[in-house]
Amino acid sequence: MHYVKKLLFTAILAGVAHTAVKGQQKGQQPNVIIIYADDLGYGDISCNGATRVKTPHIDRLASEGIRFTNGHATAATCTPSRYSILTGEYAWRKKGTNILPGNASLIIPTDRTTLGNMFQRAGYRTACIGKWHLGIGAQGEPDWNGELKPGPLETGFDYAFFFPATADRVPTVYVENHRVVALDPKDTIQVNYHQKIGNEPTGKENPELLKMHSTPGQGHNQTIVNGIGRIGWMTGGQRARWTDESLAGDFVNQAQLFIEEHHRKPFFLYLSLSDIHVPRMPGTRFKGKSEMGYRGDVIMQLDWSVGEIMKTLNYLGIAKNTIVIFSSDNGPVLDDGYIDGAVAQQSGHQPAGAMRGGKYSILEGGTRVPFILSWPGTVKPGVSGALVNQIDLLASFAAMLRQPLKENEAPDSWNILGALLGKSQQGRSSMVEQAGTLALVKGDWKYIVPQHGPKLLKDVNIESGLDTIPQLYNLKADLGEKNNLAATHPEMVKEMATMLETIRTS
Ligand code: NG6
Ligand code: CA
């Protein structure tokens, strides 16, 4: 693994570092922006085949850059994918990296090298704007009314404007650097994930106050904030609470401020948007604009957000010196806890494209997501089938910026800069996927480790991909993972199971 990393590092540096120089203005290294969507499926954007919703800005990014057809998050849920993109380490190597409650403490050890740290070493200003969902504070309940640390600032970011967990989890407030934004010290925030706290109405007790109902049996019926029942109870912090309708605009606005302020020197922006995660409550101007209910509307809102960022880069004259990566933290889900029209108005839309599964699933729909990289003037536009994974951004950009990584830094991240910049069709040769079990993808083959569990995740109506027998698919011939070839290819099953075990224990 490390050998491969180093080998590619030397081989590619010569060619690609040169490219980097060409794309710079005034000899500067390129800015890097990762626009990370939440729960956006491969088939949710029109350049990947969606027809019932249009994403012109994302499509333009793709037509001016490289659209990857085999691009991946490391896991089929948020927290592990985000852990991996930032640390370059598979999340399954570390306990406690599954979906976190809103009051979890920070799960990235502060001495671990992150993507942000690497950019900082290379002299970049770094910012984290948007959804965090990696915990905050050292141990125990975070101090919502005091200093919230460690968090993004202690894990590689010079500036942070974020919400702690997910839009459906309390506390529904923004944090800027170490403090809750707009907190009134006389109205302190308390959060509880075990029992009700305070006297505010809950979705369970006061459904008549809801503007969007939760799906029966799927929770999301605790404290009501902005007419929506959440996971968890909170009290206080009235002035500090966000409105769902403004989330996208607020994050875009903060991103624009950061870009404007720092555009004269290289910057790295991790812009982790909340769309299209639940609760899907689009800004008023997007409500009812798609034919697919609020889920379609927030896809349009996400597309708008991408367009606004691109506009800012053009306006400041830095588009040619900025690498923009657009991807998603996991595959799609229609009903993730609220009745928002996603199921009722799906009619024909294929959120995971031709793949089986989606969010929470070990099938390809779980981790194969939209993945676009643009660097106008330097990267030649095209479509690439190279296997690329978000976990590789750390080692790849480290190579581009000539920042050597030590053995224990980003242990699972490979330098695939050549593939990312379209110089090579060769991405990773293998990769591990995570969702309830592990799977190994190697070339055209995918092996799923046997695991007990429901085959259908009933609440969300998604196939989990779990089975008690080994599964082996040839993704080239059978992207839909319909023909399990394990019984007829026992040697291949054995070889892949052994390889996965070696990776797992290395
Ligand atoms: C689940 C929530 C779901 C979503 C998910 C996290 C229930 C029944 N479902 O536990 O609504 O919040 O966690 O999504 O509570 S993620 O994209 O951040 O991983
Ligand atoms: Ca997610």
What are 65-91's pLDDT values in tens digits?
Answer: 999 999 999 999 999 999 999 999 999
Q: Angle 393-400/2-22 helices, nearest 10 degrees?
A: 50
Mean pLDDT in the chain?
A: 95
Instruction: Measure the CA–CA gap between 254 and 237, rounded to whole angstroms.
Output: 21
- The DSSP-derived string for 96-136 is T-SS--TTPPP-S-TTS--HHHHHHHTT-EEEEEEE--S--
Report which ligand 1 atom has the smallest distance to the Cα of 77: 19
Whose Cα sits closest to atom 17 in ligand 1? 78
With b for 16 or more beta-carbon neighbours within 10 A and e for fewer, the 28-39 pattern comes to bbbbbbbbbbbb
Count of CA atoms in the C-beta half-sphere (13 A) of 309? 36
With b for 16 or more beta-carbon neighbours within 10 A and e for fewer, the 141-157 pattern comes to ebbbbeebbbbbbbbbb
> How far, in Å, is the centroid of ligand 2 from the Cα of 169?
13
Q: Among 40, 74, 77, name the best residue to mutate to test ligand 1's pocket (greatest count of ligand atoms within 8 A of Cβ).
A: 77
Whose Cα sits closest to atom 8 in ligand 1? 218
374 residue type, one letter:
S
> How far, in Å, is the centroid of ligand 2 from the Cα of 315?
31
Do residues 484 and 466 lie in contact, with contact meaning Cβ atoms separated by under 8 Å? no
Per-residue pLDDT of the chain (506 residues; tens, 9 = 90+): 444 444 444 444 434 443 443 333 556 899 999 999 999 999 999 999 999 999 999 999 999 999 999 999 999 999 999 999 999 999 999 999 999 999 999 999 999 999 999 999 999 999 999 999 999 999 999 999 999 999 999 999 999 999 999 999 999 999 999 999 999 999 999 999 999 999 999 999 999 999 999 999 999 999 999 999 999 999 999 999 999 999 999 999 999 999 999 999 999 999 999 999 999 999 999 999 999 999 999 999 999 999 999 999 999 999 999 999 999 999 999 999 999 999 999 999 999 999 999 999 999 999 999 999 999 999 999 999 999 999 999 999 999 999 999 999 999 999 999 999 999 999 999 999 999 999 999 999 999 999 999 999 999 999 999 999 999 999 999 999 999 999 999 999 999 999 999 999 99
Whose Cα sits closest to atom 16 in ligand 1? 78
Instruction: Give the three-state DSSP class for 52.
Output: coil
Q: Among 193, 336, 460, name the best residue to mutate to test ligand 1's pocket (greatest count of ligand atoms within 8 A of Cβ).
A: 336
Of all ligands present, the nearest one to the C-alpha of 272 is: 2
- Ion ligand 2: residues, CB < 5 A: 38-39, 78, 329-330
> How far, in Å, is the centroid of ligand 2 from the Cα of 229?
19
pTM of the model: 0.95
The predicted pLDDT at position 26 comes to: 54
Instruction: Measure the CA–CA gap between 86 and 69, rounded to whole angstroms.
Output: 22
> How far, in Å, is the centroid of ligand 1 from the Cα of 217?
13
pLDDT, tens only, 254-264: 999 999 999 99
Whose Cα sits closest to atom 18 in ligand 1? 78
Lookup: tokens for 234: 């909170």
With b for 16 or more beta-carbon neighbours within 10 A and e for fewer, the 385-413 pattern comes to ebbbbbbbbbbbbbbbbebebeeebbbbb
The predicted pLDDT at position 430 comes to: 98
Whose Cα sits closest to atom 10 in ligand 1? 99
Instruction: Measure the CA–CA gap between 353 and 43, rounded to whole angstroms.
Output: 4
Instruction: Measure the CA–CA gap between 495 and 391, rounded to whole angstroms.
Output: 24
104 residue type, one letter:
A
Of all ligands present, the nearest one to the C-alpha of 330 is: 2
> How far, in Å, is the centroid of ligand 2 from the Cα of 355?
18
Report which ligand 1 atom has the smallest distance to the Cα of 79: 19
Q: Among 39, 83, 99, 340, name the best residue to mutate to test ligand 1's pocket (greatest count of ligand atoms within 8 A of Cβ).
A: 99
Instruction: Measure the CA–CA gap between 248 and 51, rounded to whole angstroms.
Output: 23
Instruction: Give the three-state DSSP class for 501.
Output: helix
Do residues 188 and 145 lie in contact, with contact meaning Cβ atoms separated by under 8 Å? yes
> How far, in Å, is the centroid of ligand 2 from the Cα of 297?
18
> How far, in Å, is the centroid of ligand 2 from the Cα of 504?
24
> How far, in Å, is the centroid of ligand 1 from the Cα of 373?
28
Count of CA atoms in the C-beta half-sphere (13 A) of 24? 17
The predicted pLDDT at position 27 comes to: 65
> How far, in Å, is the centroid of ligand 1 from the Cα of 381?
36
338 residue type, one letter:
Y
- The DSSP-derived string for 221-279 is -SBEETTEE-BSEEES-GGGB--GGGHHHHHHHHHHHHHHHHTTS-EEEEEE--TTSSS
Whose Cα sits closest to atom 5 in ligand 1? 99
Instruction: Measure the CA–CA gap between 176 and 342, rounded to whole angstroms.
Output: 32
β-bridge partners, 434: 75, 438
Do residues 336 and 351 lie in contact, with contact meaning Cβ atoms separated by under 8 Å? no
Instruction: Measure the CA–CA gap between 165 and 151, rounded to whole angstroms.
Output: 12
> How far, in Å, is the centroid of ligand 1 from the Cα of 336?
7
> How far, in Å, is the centroid of ligand 2 from the Cα of 44?
14
Q: Among 38, 78, 339, 461, name the best residue to mutate to test ligand 1's pocket (greatest count of ligand atoms within 8 A of Cβ).
A: 78
Do residues 417 and 16 lie in contact, with contact meaning Cβ atoms separated by under 8 Å? yes
Report which ligand 1 atom has the smallest distance to the Cα of 218: 8
Nearest one of 318, 459, 445, 436 to 375, comparing CA atoms: 318
Whose Cα sits closest to atom 13 in ligand 1? 99
Lookup: tokens for 370: 């939209």
> How far, in Å, is the centroid of ligand 2 from the Cα of 125?
26
- Ligand 1 neighbours (beta carbon < 6 A): 38-39, 77-78, 99, 133, 166, 168, 218-219, 231, 277-278, 330, 336-337
Burial degree of 423 (CB within 10 A; 0-12, 13-18, 19+): middle
Match 């040769």 to its residue by tokens: 429
Report which ligand 1 atom has the smallest distance to the Cα of 459: 8
Lookup: tokens for 175: 């944090």
Kindly report the number of other CB atoms within 10 A of residue 444's CB atom. 11
Do residues 446 and 342 lie in contact, with contact meaning Cβ atoms separated by under 8 Å? no
